[in-house]
Amino acid sequence: PLSVAASGVTGGADLRDLGERSGREASEEPVAGLPIRVVLREVDLQDVVFASANAPFTIPDATVSDVTVVPEPGALVLGARVTTEHGSVVAEGRLTLPGYNLTGTITQGDVAVAQHWWLGATGGTVSGPFSLRRGQLNADLGLVDGQIDQSGFTVSKLAGNIAMRYPIITTALAGEGLGGPVTAEGTVNIAALSYTATGTATPQLADAAGWLKDLLGLEPDAFEASGRASVTASVD
């Protein structure tokens, strides 16, 4: 039996070949040896700061707090808050041992955490289940009250679904922009550093003209517009 209490902890991990290593460990046959089995009785962690290196994708600097660890036969039940400079993610899950398969739920995540990869993601929250098995990360998240700010163009009240099957992310969202409804579907390939997206919008031309004048640095009275347009766009 073992109890662990620690505070003011700093540390890090090298995540190189994480998937191959975890898969190999899960498939290894038991090795004969001393019949010693560690049983965690209590775990109390506070003020934990954790860094990572050589991950298969870039990860922002983060602080891990509100850590909870509850041992149970063959697994650990975990909970934590991960905070970056842009926001935080609260999650809970179950880690099986020794296979190191993690299944859990993001109970609340700030979309702004994604600013590490895309500065345009400025608002909203996500929640939903995720799993990490043999290096494969999957997640199915729901977005509410999202906001995107890009080149002076704002889309707000975004809602919809985001699915990750690493390295592929697919999404279907709907919101409001330039005085009208906006819908979009997209795919991001993290490994290939590429994306494709299609969208439709029905903007008010007066709002669109104001955005265009700001984007081009024109005088407010450079031109006027009225009415409504129907727009379909594809981007990759």
Would you say residue 150 has pLDDT above 90?
Answer: no
Would you say residue 26 has pLDDT above 60?
Answer: no
Q: What is the pTM of this model?
A: 0.78
pLDDT band at 17 (very low <50, low <70, confident <90, very high): low
pLDDT at 52 (0 to 100): 66
How confident is the model over 102-139, as pLDDT tens digits?
999 999 999 999 998 889 999 999 999 999 998 789 99
Asked whether the beta carbons of 88 and 105 are under 8 A apart, the reply is: no
pLDDT mean over 61-88: 87
pLDDT at 74 (0 to 100): 83
How confident is the model over 159-213, as pLDDT tens digits?
999 999 999 999 999 999 999 999 999 999 988 889 999 999 999 999 999 989 9
Q: Is 87 exposed, middle or buried (0-12, 13-18, 19+ CB in 10 A)?
A: middle
Nearest-5° Cα angle at 10, 114 to 100:
70
